[in-house]
Amino acid sequence: MSDTRTGTPPANVPPASADAEVLGRLSVLDRFLPVWIGVAMAVGLLLGRLLPGVADALDAAKIDTVSVPIAIGLLIMMYPPLAKVRYGELGAIASDRRLLGASLVLNWLIGPALMFTLAWLLLPDLPEFRTGLIIVGLARCIAMVLIWNDLACGDRDAAAFLVAINSVFQIVAYSVLGWFYLSVLPGWLGLEQQALDVGLWEIAKAVLVFLGIPLLAGVASRVLGERARGREWYEQTFLPRISPWALYGLLATVVMLFALQGEAITSRPFDVVRIALPLLAYFAIMFGLSFALGLRLGLGYERNATLSFTAAGNNFELAIAVAIGVFGATSGQALAGVVGPLIEVPVLVGLVYVALWARRRFYPAADGGTR
């Protein structure tokens, strides 16, 4: 990731040349991220398939329903992006009604409705997988989106704000939306109904663990670091030192997630393909629709990229936890939840490159995220 704050070039630098300059400053880890993620996925699948004891050990290491190893990987992954946020500037982002309104509509109206539609259209004969995908569609992203947004040179302050808003809505609305999309709406349409019995505390717990802890750590780092050594030291010395840990945490999390379901995924490849098709359509449609809406609203590139990634990503940690808690670890719903990151991780890495191409195509002046 670029050491600059935004990664966007000055107005007098041609976008293509600026992108080449940014690429030249990337570490080997950043530059070949898709390769490392592919390797991490393969390692996880092989571990889960060849060494079942690894998956059993990861599944057993829990506090309540939270997997401790996965939680540690996610916390390491999320801390650096949240430590980079300039929290004192979030007020200006909150006043951007275009960004906030578009995000709420995309995340809480269009996203769940789209996943419901795709699940029923493409999986009409597979009720367990269909329910699992609807559960994934209801869980809006609060974790990995910070990584994708940073790699695409999005507005990290805006990303932190939208993630916080999604977290609040998730606690309040997830159970209600689950009841609506699995029971009420199918009943209205004459389709098969399904109950989702999950309490607010289960959702709040996942949000508090996966967002609350790294958020508090990020705020504390920013406040204490600037107070002790100043902003220049904090942003030019401290942040570059901790930045690689975000990707280390991401890769470790990918390995563990795929190790947990390695046997199920490799032994049921056709099922994985069936689940993957609506997911691929969902990510492509949500990202494209969000970016087009951002262009229509006149958002600058940085905030448009942030809007698009926060709308396209999903909180698979919560979706998997809900699917396992309600339907069981060996259920088709749980398998659909695990296939979520199997598809989401490589697709959103690809969308990072799509976003950077879109910057050159639709933001030729490289406006630095005009608000």
User: Mean pLDDT across the stretch 322-340?
Assistant: 76
Q: How far apart (Å, rounded) are the C-alpha atoms in residues 155 and 162? A: 11
Q: What is the pLDDT of residue 7?
A: 41
Q: What is the pLDDT of residue 66?
A: 64
Cβ atoms of 103 and 311 within 8 Å: the answer is yes
pLDDT band at 329 (very low <50, low <70, confident <90, very high): low
More confident residue, 20 or 154: 154
User: Mean pLDDT across the stretch 66-75?
Assistant: 78
Cβ atoms of 73 and 317 within 8 Å: the answer is no
pLDDT band at 129 (very low <50, low <70, confident <90, very high): very high
- Residue 92 above 80 pLDDT? no
pLDDT digits (tens, 9 = 90+) for 167-188: 778 777 888 888 899 888 998 9
- Residue 29 above 60 pLDDT? yes
Determine which of 21-35, 114-128, 329-343 has the lowest per-residue pLDDT on average.
21-35
pLDDT band at 358 (very low <50, low <70, confident <90, very high): very high
CA proximity to 48, closest of 262, 338, 339, 342: 262
pLDDT digits (tens, 9 = 90+) for 257-310: 778 777 767 777 888 899 999 999 999 999 999 999 999 999 999 999 999 999
Q: What is the pLDDT of residue 325?
A: 65
pLDDT digits (tens, 9 = 90+) for 195-209: 766 666 766 676 677
Q: What is the pLDDT of residue 110?
A: 97
Q: What is the pLDDT of residue 281?
A: 96
More confident residue, 14 or 160: 160
More confident residue, 5 or 146: 146
CB neighbour burial string for 169-189, b if at least 16 within 10 angstroms, e if fewer: bbbebbbebbbbbbeebbeee
pLDDT digits (tens, 9 = 90+) for 238-253: 988 998 888 888 788 7
Mean pLDDT in the chain? Answer: 81
Residues 6+ away with beta carbon under 8 Å from 27:
244
pLDDT band at 20 (very low <50, low <70, confident <90, very high): low
Ranked by mean pLDDT, which of 82-86, 115-119, 173-177 comes out on top?
Answer: 115-119
**What domains, with CATH codes, occur in the chain?**
15-360 (1.20.1530.20)
Determine which of 155-159, 237-241, 334-338 has the lowest per-residue pLDDT on average.
334-338
Q: What is the pLDDT of residue 123?
A: 94
For the chain, give the secondary structure using H, E and C: CCCCCCCCCCCCCCHHHHHHHHHHHCCHHHHCHHHHHHHHHHHHHHHHHHCHHHHHHHHHCEECCEEHHHHHHHHHHHHHHHHHCCHHHHHHHHCCHHHHHHHHHHHHHHHHHHHHHHHHHHCCCCHHHHHHHHHHHHCECCCCHHHHHHHCCCCHHHHHHHHHHHHHHHHHHHHHHHHHHHHHHHHHHCCCCCCCCCCHHHHHHHHHHHHHHHHHHHHHHHHHHHHHHCHHHHHHHHHHHHCHHHHHHHHHHHHHHHHHCHHHHHHCHHHHHHHHHHHHHHHHHHHHHHHHHHHHHCCCHHHHHHHHHHHHCECHHHHHHHHHHHHCCCCHHHHHHHHHHHHHHHHHHHHHHHHHHHHHHHCCCCCCCCC
Q: How far apart (Å, rounded) are the C-alpha atoms in residues 352 and 343? A: 15
- Residue 6 above 50 pLDDT? no
Determine which of 17-26, 72-81, 148-157, 281-290 has the lowest per-residue pLDDT on average.
17-26
pLDDT band at 65 (very low <50, low <70, confident <90, very high): low
Unique residue bearing structure tokens 């191409």? 357
Q: How far apart (Å, rounded) are the C-alpha atoms in residues 277 and 167? A: 27
- Residue 22 above 50 pLDDT? no
Encoded tokens for 136 = 């994934």
Q: How far apart (Å, rounded) are the C-alpha atoms in residues 151 and 145? A: 10
Q: What is the pLDDT of residue 202?
A: 66
Cβ atoms of 117 and 188 within 8 Å: the answer is no
User: What is this structure's pTM?
Assistant: 0.74
More confident residue, 59 or 289: 289
